[in-house]
Amino acid sequence: MANENTENSKQVNENEEVGVMPSLLVGYVRRSNAGGAVKLSINTNAFGDCETYTTADGQTYVPLVISLDAIRKVIDGDRAVTTVSQLIFD
């Protein structure tokens, strides 16, 4: 998979999948060729730009969102791919 330009990965994505709230495009979800799994592809540059949070036990996480409606369409084969994003809160 070719590396994406950092400028593109920082692009604010306002799509219907995560509502009207601005979001950072982080990656994509596809159904596996065998159909028994979903494949998650995260752009490492975009992932590094994401906000994180730390839990009480010291673990750090990146909160990401995938539209339930869109992922159902991917799983059902009605759609080839959908986005993985991080919501942007100003």
Does 74 reside within a domain?
A: no
* Domain hosting residue 6, numbered range: 1-63
Average pLDDT over residues 25-47: 94
Distances in Å between the Cα of 25 and the Cα atoms of 9, 44, 77 are: 6, 11, 22
Does 20 reside within a domain?
A: yes
Does 22 reside within a domain?
A: yes
Instruction: Quickly tell me which residue has 């080839």 as its tokens.
Output: 80
Does 54 reside within a domain?
A: yes
Q: How far is CA 75 from the centre of its chain?
A: 16
Does 86 reside within a domain?
A: no
Does 88 reside within a domain?
A: no
Number of domains in the chain: 1
Does 90 reside within a domain?
A: no
Can you give the pLDDT at residue 21?
Answer: 84
Give 27-49 as a 3 state SS string.
Answer: EEEEECCCCCCEEEEECHHHHHH
pLDDT at 20 over 90: no
Does 71 reside within a domain?
A: no
pTM: 0.74
